[in-house]
């Protein structure tokens, strides 16, 4: 819903990608998997934001009628 929340999710995703890339570059599997996990968490949060947006749109549609 909030632009700030969506921006935070994108930032978390970017941090995860950086961790994953660093893990690959240094052959640190733990860091690589941690980065992938962080990205997954950011995607889940983003999906939640999308659901909130959709619910708000449905609610608004019923208010107009």
Q: State how far the Cα of 7 lies from the Cα of 26, in Å rounded to an integer.
A: 28
The pTM score is 0.77
The structural domain count of the chain equals: 1
Each residue of 5-61: pLDDT tens digit?
889 999 999 999 999 999 999 999 999 999 999 999 999 999 998 898 888 888 777
28: phi then psi, degrees, rounded to nearest 5: -105, 95
Both tokens of 41, joined, read 């968490």
**Structural domain of 7:** 3-64
């Amino acid at each position: 819903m909030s632009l700030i929340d969506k921006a935070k999710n994108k930032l978390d995703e970017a941090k995860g990608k950086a961790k994953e890339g660093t893990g690959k570059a240094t052959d640190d599997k733990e860091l690589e998997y941690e980065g992938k996990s962080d990205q997954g968490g950011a995607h889940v949060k983003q999906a939640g934001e999308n659901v909130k947006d959709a619910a708000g749109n449905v609610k608004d549609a019923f208010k107009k009628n």
